[in-house]
Amino acid sequence: MKISIFGMGYVGAVSAGCLAGEGHEIIGVDSVQAKVDLINKGLTPIIEKDIGELIQAAVKEGRLQATTDAAEAVAATDISFVCVGTPSQLNGNLDLKYIRRVCEKIGSALQEKNGHHVVVIRSTILPGTMRSVVIPTLETASGKKAGKGFGVCNNPEFLREGTAVYDFHNPPKTVIGEIDAASGDILAELYQKMDAPIIRTDLETAEMVKYVDNCWHALKVGFANEVGNICKAVGTDGHRVMDIFCKDTKLNLSPYYLKPGFAFGGSCLPKDLRALTYKGKSLDLELPILNSIIPSNLLQIERGLNMILTRPGRKVGVLGFSFKAGTDDLRESPMVEVIERLLGKGYDIRIYDKNVNLARLVGANRDYILNLIPHIAKMMVQSVDDILAHADTIVIGNNDPEFEAAMERISGNQIVIDLVRVAQKQSHEGVYDGICW
């Protein structure tokens, strides 16, 4: 494939060397003449393991060249990768001047080109940038319509400095955000030989994925450091603790707790967080990440409550209020907090949860419901039908399979507020509202 790559910095140079090494014809484009000259001499403009040898071989074999002429590069290729920098502004926002500048140049070149051309953004950009900046700039400069006159994709990179060449050939995933299938097909063809899943999605999801990845990595570093600080203060080895922690790939290093939804609760997580953060305070340790978890959880409860309060009607039906489906445990259930807040505001509430049955409750759960929330026990009904007959607003509080079937029986004047995504639906105004989707 004939490919032009705009920006011969870290991502661009690695992409150029690796793609050329796979047999593609590459034209590197950069406004800095010194970088162009280095590449044309078979030298690398960056310091990175193995990339020098790849560039040297590709130039020698005639598969890689560089230029400052954007129009020449677009005219001679079928697909253009944009790999320019998106540095931070003083307020933390991205500086998109390099993206705009390159898109203007590519768009101007497309004005004179008759064949189909695909523009792929590899630079890291915030969700919405493709539609608000990239596509309008390309369309204005070219006089053509994206998806018809030319193709557009977003293809975030997952390269780590020091192992970028290895990462290019062995990615954890390949994400392609597309506005038309034909453009996505062309880009996907480049990655067919890689042993990694190819995920094709919309532009905004592809843009967001890279930020989620990097913020998660940053959070992991900070979390491990705070754990290490506590460990040192109590006289244990933080590395040993985290080595054991990482052995658990069923829960700790897994997708299990990484689904957006409602707040956590139960008899373990809140209690243990409070205990560990209290221990940190007693040791005079600053633990901003650990200390922020419970406040963040409380904000999610507030968010769920506000979704109910902003709906018309005072009759609310709750399906599921134990902290997790399949249990009768109400201790620190976030739904109990929501129900009590609604009661305080005068709402007429009915609650159904087949697992929370007074006749079967024993021990701590029985004491809890009879002594601490007896007013809530009086609102419990015996079936889903009782909830559907009562409520203007139906709140899904846990993901019992029974509730998914119930959603098919919602009447036209009722709205569902789903806090757990019991069904794969998207929010639809006045009908269904998911807390994070």
Binding-site residues for NAD(+), in ranges, read 30, 35, 86, 124, 161, 271, 331
Orientation of helix 334-344 relative to helix 288-309, angle to 10°: 50
Orientation of helix 97-111 relative to helix 135-142, angle to 10°: 30
Residue 137 dihedral angles phi and psi, to the nearest 5°: -65, -45
* Residue 64 · residue 77 · CB < 8 Å: no
Residue 401 dihedral angles phi and psi, to the nearest 5°: -55, -25
- Of 18, 21, 23, 25, nearest to 4 by C-alpha is 25
The Cα-based distances of 409 to 2, 385, 387, 394 in angstroms read: 55, 9, 11, 12
DSSP H stretches of helix in 4-69: 10-21, 33-40, 51-60
DSSP H stretches of helix in 310-400: 334-344, 363-367, 374-377, 384-390
Give yes or no: 268 in active site.
yes
**Which parts are annotated binding residues?**
30, 35, 86, 124, 158-161, 210, 257-261, 265, 271, 324, 331
**Which parts are annotated binding residues for substrate?**
158-161, 210, 257-261, 265, 324
Which position among 18, 215, 268, 436 bears the catalytic label? 268
Neighbouring C-beta atoms of residue 266, cutoff 10 Å = 17
The residues annotated with a catalytic role in the active site are: 268
